[in-house]
Amino acid sequence: MSFKNFITISLFLFVIVTIGAIAAKGVRSPSQASPAPPSATNADVVAPAKVDNALVAYYFHSDFRCPTCRTIESYAHEAVETAFADDLATGAVQWRVLNYEHPENAARAEQYQIVAPVVVLSKIENGAEVSWVSLDKVWQLTDDKAAFMNYVQDEARNLQAR
């Protein structure tokens, strides 16, 4: 066997093994590929309790949780906790994590036109939602935590003031 044939066969085998490894990773279920973060519990698939007056900050996620999705959840939660600690304690601001792919959350996902993980802010007055905003720019700000936090906090304050 010539050296050229040896290199050709070696490279061919390398490609086959690489493709096999990638395929094996793809076969795992989403829960194996990306376990739920500590903040997500079974409570995130249950319809949230009705509130009379509050600002509700939702983080909608899918079954698959990529690193960027986890960053968005973490930064958004920190932004809400940091700026609204007192309001969180009284229930005037609420943090909710929901899987938009679960059937029990389908109506809410449709209402907010959820197609990918995102943060949604909802203003509730007298038990009815009066306005909401989807914070789509969170995807663009994951590399700048300060800008991300300011964006979420500013949008929350703006919605509260309406």
Average pLDDT over residues 133-154: 96
- The three-state (H, E, C) secondary structure of 151-162, written as one string: HHHHHHHHHHHC
Name residues whose C-beta falls within 8 Å of residue 118's C-beta, 6 or more positions apart in sequence: 59, 60, 72, 134, 135, 136, 138, 139
pLDDT digits (tens, 9 = 90+) for 6-60: 777 766 666 665 675 565 554 443 333 333 444 444 444 344 456 789 999 999 9
Q: What is the mean pLDDT of residues 141-155?
A: 97
Give pLDDT tens digits for 97-140: 999 999 999 999 999 999 999 999 999 999 999 999 999 999 99
Strands 128-135 and 54-61, sheet pairing = unpaired
Q: Which conformational region is residue 94 in: left (phi greater than 0), alpha (psi within -120 to 50 degrees), or beta? A: beta
Please tell me the pTM assigned to this model.
0.70
